[in-house]
A and B are shown apart, each in its own frame.
Chain A
Amino acid sequence: MQLLLNALIAGSFAALLASGLSLVYGVLGIFNMALGQLALVGGLTTWWLVSILSLPLPLAIAGGILITALTTWFGFEFFVAPYYRRHRFLPLVTTIAFSMILDGLILVIFHQEPKTIDVGTRTLLPVFDALISSQQIVLIVLTILFLALLTWVLVKTAFGRRIRATVQHPTAAESLGIRSSLLHRIVFIVSGVLAGFAGIYVGIDQNLTPTIGFAITIKAYAAIIAGGKDSMKGTILCAYLIALLEQLSIGLPWFGSYIPSGYQSTVALLVIILVLLIKPQGLFGSKTRIA
């Protein structure tokens, strides 16, 4: 049971990141390699507002999200917009440059020490034979609400219909008056905001080490590739599935002995490798012509 709860906690974090990534890939057809660093921007600026400026937590979270949104917007204008219409693979290289610059700035400003967002005393609650903190319950519930809201916006609102129209046929959507460039900006910023929330999530639940940006990005990619690049539901489901696999791989004895916890992150990487080799379009992706 504890392993299931741990998977739910880790999966919620990965689902937040991966859903934004999936949205960006679906609409713009590009990958953002600086997503992990954007998560760190959200988490670390919230930590700074809480710990250094002593702001109340809700205000600090709002401030952290605002700074992440502005950073993402800046990233889009300088590292994505001039390139993605020329070739959709160019942003893969330019966002690597963006991630390096963010990594450098984060290390200069916040240094290497891990940071935890202080939310007061943690109360542990028993669930069957496992334990979960009240903060973790709030984080999981908020994540599910966020993802439900995102799905509702995409499926039920006029804005969501515009997004889906742009994904299905960008030229036809533009000819019907949909401003795709504005839509691209909004979608990219939304993915950054979701990453910012994910960073705050880690900062509250565990701690934020300024050097983990790239590992976070790869974790989100594992979910999007396993789920299918064109399937947000598949991506979210696979985020939880990979988290469960990670927990099971190190939490249970295999052939009489436990796998060292250092290998935990390798599970997500192995999932990417296996899925791409066996079903390159992902477990829930539609079959498209591949190279």
Chain B
Amino acid sequence: MNYLLHILTMIGLSIPNILGYNLIFGRGKFLHFGPIATSLFSSYAMFLTLRETGNYLSAFFVGLLASLLLSSFFAWLALRLESDALGILTIAMHLALLSVVLNWSSLTRGALGLPQIPRITGMLSLPVFASVSIVIALLWIFFMVRVHRSWLGRELSALAENRAHAEALGINRARVTLSAFLIGGLGATITNTLYPQYIGLLHPNDYQFSNLIFFILCVVAGGPGSVRGVVISIVLLTSLQELIRFLPLPLGLIGPMRLLFFGLILIIAVYIRRKEIFPMQRSV
């Protein structure tokens, strides 16, 4: 039962961040590879503040501010750069932030991470934590469905398909891009407020490049821009990721097998969804 609750918690915790990323990468077709950088920046800002002040509310707002600031920066880059340059630069930002976290040991404790992250009062037991994360995930799904059906979702699709035509119709590219990235940043903050509390540790290993691959995999496999599809892929892939731990393999082989397995799923998903990831412009 506890294991089932654990999987449910992991699914609930993944949903806000990945659905936020789906809005940017899946719907908006921005080649943005920096959601883990946003998560890393937000969570370290939040839990370092918590360590100093002991106040969860102020720590949450510092984390949110950090996330929104970095998301605004990424939105500005998306407006300024070609798509492939945006992809490379967001990866570079991710690796640069990770390098700072790993090397600034006096502040971040480097590779040791920040231990003993306390849970918010009232969320100490696993059933309560699982329930809270599932309720938050359901609320976020509802919010994201509304966003995708709103002016923002429609204008994002229009810009992704043909920027010049969309702008000629009066769509404000800067407003739409910034809104999408800020919603993505909010999703990252929600996930990263809860995840370190759940495991009781904030560790740089949880913000490695492989986590980004999981995000891309969920969006591509679920159908870029589809809330329902991405939620289903999060449920299936998170469960699969947890179940791989129980394969009868030597300990050192589990990590490589996971890479192989998810690499194969990713290429199969891209092959199936190749017409949807970067659709060709329609001609009249």
Question: Which residue numbers of A lie inside 8 Å of B, CB to CB?
Answer: 31, 78-79, 82-83, 86-90, 92-94, 96-101, 103-105, 107-108, 111-112, 214-215, 218, 221-222, 225, 260, 262-263, 265-266, 269-270, 272-273, 276-277, 280, 290-291
Contact = CB atoms under 8 A, between A and B. Distances in A.
Given A101-B260, A260-B103, A266-B99, 7 more contacts: A83-B274, A89-B83, A90-B278, A107-B255, A108-B256, A262-B103, A265-B95
B84 interface: yes
Nearest to A105: B260
A93 B89 contact: no
Contacts of B206: none
A289 to B, nearest CB: 9
Contacts of A270: 96
Interface string B86-99: 01110111011001
Contacts of B194: none
Contacts of B278: 86-87, 89-90
B270 A104 contact: no
Interface residues of B, number: 48
**8 residue pairs, one from A and one from B, having the closest CB atoms:** A100-B263, A104-B259, A104-B260, A107-B256, A101-B263, A262-B103, A87-B278, A97-B266
Nearest to A96: B213
User: Main secondary structure on chain A at its contact with chain B?
Assistant: helix
B86 to A, nearest CB: 8
B264 interface: yes
A106 B31 CA distance: 28
Contact of B270 (A94, A111, A266): A94
Interface string B51-72: 0000000000000000000000
Contacts of B92: 218, 221-222, 269, 272-273
B133 to A, nearest CB: 28
B81 interface: yes
Nearest to A264: B99
Find the residue from B77, B83, B260, B263 having the highest chain A CB count within 10 A: B263
A272 B88 CA distance: 8
A175 B177 CA distance: 41
Contacts of A269: 92-93, 95-96, 99
A90 B91 contact: no
27 contacts: A31-B84, A82-B271, A86-B274, A86-B275, A89-B31, A90-B274, A92-B31, A93-B216, A94-B270, A96-B216, A100-B263, A103-B256, A103-B259, A111-B252, A218-B92, A222-B92, A225-B85, A260-B103, A265-B99, A266-B95, A269-B93, A269-B99, A272-B88, A272-B89, A276-B77, A276-B81, A280-B80
Interface string B256-268: 1111111110110
Contacts of B213: 96, 100
A280 B220 CA distance: 29
Contacts of A266: 95-96, 99-100
A178 B138 CA distance: 56
Given A83-B274, A265-B99, A97 B80 contact: no
Contacts of A214: 209
Interface string B29-54: 00100000000000000000000000
B253 interface: yes
Contacts of A276: 77, 81, 85, 88-89
Contacts of B263: 97-101, 103-104
B280 interface: yes
B158 interface: no
Nearest to A107: B256
B79 interface: yes
A100 B85 CA distance: 21
